[in-house]
Amino acid sequence: MNIEDRETAGRARNAEVDNASSTFPRLEGPWPETGVLRPGGRVSARLRIVEFEGQPAVLKDYGASPALFRSVVGRLMTQREIAAYRRLRGVEGIPRLIGRVGRDGLLLESLDGRNCLEAGDADLPASFFTGLRSILAQLRARGVLHGDVRNNVVVTPECEPRLVDFGASFVISGVMLPFRKTVVRIAEGYNERAVLKLKRSIAPGLLTASEVRFLARPLPFERWVRIGERIVKAVVRATCRLFERVRQDRGPWQ
């Protein structure tokens, strides 16, 4: 099978996943809460550990955010994340989306481990980063770009990688489909840089000379990516200020 045939097969598989398996069950709580991973608030989602059918699960929602943000932006963020999980059904190394909760909530499989940026004392093997590359390759094959790899890698007790939090992800679809191959090729370089930056932070002794040289080289469209990141951060800050002003004018929202 040549490259063009593989691309066609990949698009057909993604369409099948998008359409035939397009829904996740809607679930109704409440469930016993056993812990808090992130309290949330403003523009951040709230992450809580709950007991679901006798097992721990992660409940993600925007319940701690202002009502207007939650009803508009929170719902859009949730829909984008659902689209990513829909594409990624069956992919190893990511949490399973159990179901939807309300308008802005997701119930996710709880993974045993901790954020690798907080695991400074862990003696990670080179296979950890090989495994992370494999997960990212599976995402690209499904037409999904994560968006924030470095901050969302979990290391399991067996020193294996897991990639979590698809709130910043992007699904290649619609008008972007004709450019899929180009986008995926560019994303591969950015994925590799994310892996190497993570390796430099938590296991610098594993960096090879060629990887150090790779980190020093500019990537395609890097300048524009940085400009885009600054614009997004500016929009987020402005959004925060707007919702804070609205909250002050109308009082706290529940």
Confirm if 85 and 24 have CB atoms less than 8 A apart: yes
* Residue 13 resides in a domain: no
Least confident of 70-84, 92-106, 224-238, 240-254: 240-254
Q: What is the pLDDT of residue 254?
A: 45
Q: pLDDT, tens digit, for every residue of 96-112?
A: 999 999 989 999 999 99
- Both 94 and 162 in one domain: the answer is no
Tokens of 214: 């790779």
Which structural domain range is residue 52 located in? 21-110
Helix axis angle, 180-202 to 126-141, nearest 10°:
160
- Both 32 and 95 in one domain: the answer is yes
- Both 45 and 59 in one domain: the answer is yes
Domain boundary at 58, 92, 110, which?
Answer: 110
DSSP code string of 144-157 = EE-S--TTSEEE-T
- Both 213 and 137 in one domain: the answer is yes
Using the predicted structure, report yes or no on whether residue 253 has a pLDDT greater than 60: no
Q: In what order do the strands lie in the sheet with 97-101?
A: 26-27, 97-101, 105-109, 55-61, 46-52, 33-38
Q: What is the pLDDT of residue 41?
A: 81
* Residue 66 resides in a domain: yes
% of the chain exceeding 70 in pLDDT: 82
Helix axis angle, 75-87 to 3-20, nearest 10°:
120
Element (H, E) at 223: helix 222-250
- Give all strands (DSSP E) within 119-190, no chain letters: 144-145, 153-155, 161-163, 170-171
Using the predicted structure, report yes or no on whether residue 40 has a pLDDT greater than 80: yes
- Both 132 and 92 in one domain: the answer is no
- Both 35 and 105 in one domain: the answer is yes
Three-state secondary structure call for residue 253:
coil
Burial of 3 (0-12, 13-18, 19+ CB in 10 A): exposed
Query: For residue 123, what is the domain's CATH number?
Result: 1.10.510.10
- Both 77 and 133 in one domain: the answer is no
Q: Which residue has the tokens 């885009």?
A: 228
% of the chain exceeding 90 in pLDDT: 57
Q: How far apart are CA 88 and CA 69, in angstroms?
A: 27
Element (H, E) at 106: strand 105-109
- Both 94 and 121 in one domain: the answer is no
Q: What is the pLDDT of residue 213?
A: 95
Query: For residue 39, what is the domain's CATH number?
Result: 3.30.200.20
Domain boundary at 62, 87, 110, which?
Answer: 110
Who wins on pLDDT, 236 or 197?
A: 197
**Average pLDDT along the chain:** 85
Least confident of 50-59, 144-153, 156-165, 167-176: 167-176
- Both 100 and 157 in one domain: the answer is no
Q: What is the pLDDT of residue 250?
A: 61
- Both 54 and 146 in one domain: the answer is no
Q: What is the pLDDT of residue 29?
A: 84
* Residue 227 resides in a domain: no
Who wins on pLDDT, 121 or 41?
A: 41
Angle at 148 between CA 93 and CA 13, to 5 degrees: 50
Q: pLDDT, tens digit, for every residue of 181-218?
A: 999 999 999 999 999 999 999 999 999 999 999 999 98
* Residue 135 resides in a domain: yes
Q: How far apart are CA 69 and CA 77, in angstroms?
A: 11
- For the chain, how many structural domains are there in total? 2
- Both 86 and 42 in one domain: the answer is yes
The pTM of the full predicted model, rounded to 2 decimals, is 0.81
Using the predicted structure, report yes or no on whether residue 39 has a pLDDT greater than 90: yes
Q: pLDDT, tens digit, for every residue of 12-23?
A: 455 444 443 458
Give the pLDDT band (50/70/90) at residue 177.
confident
* Residue 243 resides in a domain: no
Using the predicted structure, report yes or no on whether residue 124 has a pLDDT greater than 70: yes
Q: Work out the average pLDDT over 51-60.
A: 96
Q: How far apart are CA 216 and CA 51, in angstroms?
A: 46
- Both 149 and 168 in one domain: the answer is yes
Domain boundary at 110, 129, 159, which?
Answer: 110
Q: What is the pLDDT of residue 3?
A: 42
Q: Work out the average pLDDT over 29-40.
A: 93
